[in-house]
Amino acid sequence: MLRTISLLLISFLFRTSSCFAAPEPALGAAGQLGFVPADISTAAIPAPARVGADLTADYLRIRNTPGQGLGEKEITELRKYKVLLVRGFLTGGYVEPFEVFGKKIWIGRYFNDQMEELKALGVEFGMADIDSVMLPEHNAAKLAKEIRSSEKPVILISHSDGGMYVLQALIENPDLAPKVRGFISLQTPFRGSPVADYVKGNKTFSSAMKRLLGHFGGTIESLDSLTPLKREGYQDSNRGAIGGVVSGLNMISFASWKAEKHMKFDTLLELPRDFMLRRGLDNDGLVPVESAILPGSDYIKLEGVDHTVPVMSADMILKFDRRAFTRTLLSMIISR
């Protein structure tokens, strides 16, 4: 529900705003992934410790085979691990009751198909205990504690900002490496999102988001942490540590984009998607493709997938088989 409210607010603001006609300078810069403010140096930035491989063809091949590569041998291997699902920004209403006019409502659809598939496979799983309105460092600490306390090694599947929490947890706790069998990052804004810049730069929406976050115990700084300025700064400051983590980690970054279909409502995130497209950025409606790939990690790039359908149903608008998607990614991680 929290995420639904935020998406509705974003869509409303984009619909009523004049940003498309005449963006402010700051918002024009926000539409340029890789735009780095003057206070962040770009000098002598080293290349990633390794060059990530494009696994898209492998993904499509495995996705189209019966069982998506999970035979008896692979399933037996998977059962040796616990899968931790790590959700992102403003997702609390999907895992706990949400109160509206005195009535408790539980949405419960976020990562639902992943959980159903893991249950069918007999694989232990859990939803990581994070606070989706708090800063990455807060959730990284909580996640590190959960990984450390797991009786089994873990396979981490994160969505959106959840991947930021995973990365920071692994950077700050290198002793966790032996306990992590694999990391599947779905659409994480490792280099930030221009949408966060847009929201932050609009006084009306920034004020509304501040009140929404405050109501649920969060702060506007959690939104600020998603801006390209903050994420590029974090990447720059931790480039060596990130390279070390990626070099020793079995990781796949999943990135996607949804091309515009004229005269057709083809995604719940049509307006922010189009905002970034008009600035030359292929994107999933919230995260540009290149932002979703952690430098040095192997990756998959898939066309036709927005930011919601890998973890939530929107079949009336955009169909996507989340269970086959999950089986394919687990098969790829367990075979490496």
For residue 118, name the pLDDT band (cuts at 50, 70, 90): very high
Q: Which residues of 108-135 are buried (b: 16+ CB within 10 A; e: fewer)?
A: eebbebbbebbeebebbbebbebebbbb
Residue 137 placed within a domain: yes
Residue ranges of E strands in the chain:
82-86, 98-100, 103-105, 124-127, 154-159, 180-186, 251-257, 298-303
Other beta carbons within 10 Å of 7: 19
For residue 103, name the pLDDT band (cuts at 50, 70, 90): low
CATH number at residue 220: 3.40.50.1820
pLDDT digits (tens, 9 = 90+) for 246-256: 999 999 999 99
Contacts (Cβ under 8 Å, ≥6 apart) of 124: 79, 81, 82, 83, 118, 152
pLDDT digits (tens, 9 = 90+) for 199-218: 888 777 777 776 766 655 66
So what's the pLDDT on residue 24? Answer: 39
Residue 93 placed within a domain: yes
Residue 56 in this model has a pLDDT that exceeds 70 = yes
Residue 41 placed within a domain: no
Residue 44 placed within a domain: no
Average pLDDT over residues 55-74: 97
Residue 244 placed within a domain: yes
So what's the pLDDT on residue 240? Answer: 94
Residue 15 placed within a domain: yes
| Token pair for 174 | 């290198």
So what's the pLDDT on residue 255? Answer: 98
> Could you give the number of structural domains in the chain?
1
Residue 335 in this model has a pLDDT that exceeds 70 = yes
Domain carrying residue 54 = 2-33+49-334
Residue 42 placed within a domain: no
14-23, 51-60, 90-99: which has the highest mean pLDDT?
Answer: 51-60
Give the residue with greater pLDDT, 49 vs 153: 153
Residue 38 placed within a domain: no
So what's the pLDDT on residue 12? Answer: 41
